[in-house]
Amino acid sequence: MPLQPFTLKLALPIGVSFYIFQTISYLTDVYRGEIRAERDFGIYAVYISFFPKVMQGPIERGKKLLPQLHARHAFQSEQACYGLKLMAWGYFKKLVLADSLSVYVNQVYNDLPAYKGFSLVLATFFFAIQLYCDFSGYTDIALGSARLLGINLTQNFKAPYFASSIKDFWGRWHISLSSWLRDYIYIPLGGNRVGKVRHALNIMITFLVSGLWHGASWNYILWGGIHGSYQVIEGFFPWNAKTNPFQRNKHCHFFLSLITVPCTFLLVCFAWIFFRAATIPDAIYVLRNMFAGISHFSTYVQDCAMQMGLTFTHLMYNCLPMILLFLFDLASLKTDVIAFISKQRFFIRWPVYIFLLLVILLFSEKGVSTEFIYMQF
């Protein structure tokens, strides 16, 4: 009897790509002599399938997680409280922002011929925020639940949309994957210890593999190639503190960031079009039509509101949580926001906690699928 597609779908293990990458890193590290082979099968099984991270990472290295699994862990209330607060922030990002924005993103990208102009721009911007909140929200929940058990997992996101370059972006976005690609593909290929042409080729191969990891589709491969091209081109403009005297000056660095951060975000959003569109022709449609009618700007914006059914109330409903996200990520560039709030007096920190819980309860999108985007990868 032939297998039905539904049966095949069920046969695919949850989180398979994440724990395959983790297994590859473990075997490679053992082969290189960087860690000793784990003799306890139970510990090894937990290392591979530790429940908070099994579906969407982070991709943990044996040298960090295995020693923690061998250690005895007594319950620590401070650690557990931090984990619960981190989980609450993750639920805020997922339920309040990601799920709410998904309504508008799916509305446009699932019926592209019906939309033109600013609707395509806004849907792409919303998708950038949705994907970040969806994936990093899961990561916060995973890290928080692991903290309850006394386990510290790898931080996977560090305010990526405040990156001042594409290289900086990949040092902040899906850190466990980007560091895995660096250590097990880019560096073995020769990294930057080769000629310029070979170095550019190494970068492109690494990012094409990143695209292929997300799915056997030309969209993802092209998305990876775009980011690889960004990095190759960026290599000719070394905007970093070691090589650029303007970056070493704090005032110049600040004003330069006002240019580089928005430009980096726009470049990342451009690449997200190929990531979100169902096919390459769909992505090309978005690029061709996203600025249609921009010469009449007021009409350009009004048409978007009519096409997407957006009112001022809807905009405020989504903008206020985004402002809160912006402020949190901005503050996190300098400090651990959750730890900072935890140190405040009772009459300061508890209103913050109650406010966040009320926002989650009142602003979370009802009747929307809560499936995480990265479940498909």
Give per-residue pLDDT as tens, 222-235.
999 999 999 999 88
Please identify every residue annotated as catalytic.
214
Q: What pLDDT is stored for residue 306 in this prediction? A: 75
Count of C-beta atoms within a 10 Å radius of residue 229: 16
pTM of the model: 0.88
Q: What pLDDT is stored for residue 137 in this prediction? A: 92
CA separation (Å) from 366 to 38, 162, 202, 363?
Answer: 45, 30, 45, 9
Q: What pLDDT is stored for residue 370 in this prediction? A: 65
User: Which regions of the chain are under pLDDT 50?
Assistant: 1, 3, 6-10, 241-242, 246
Q: What pLDDT is stored for residue 1 in this prediction? A: 46
> CA nearest 93: which of 141, 127, 48, 163?
141
CA 169, chain centre distance (Å): 10
Amino acid making up residue 348: I
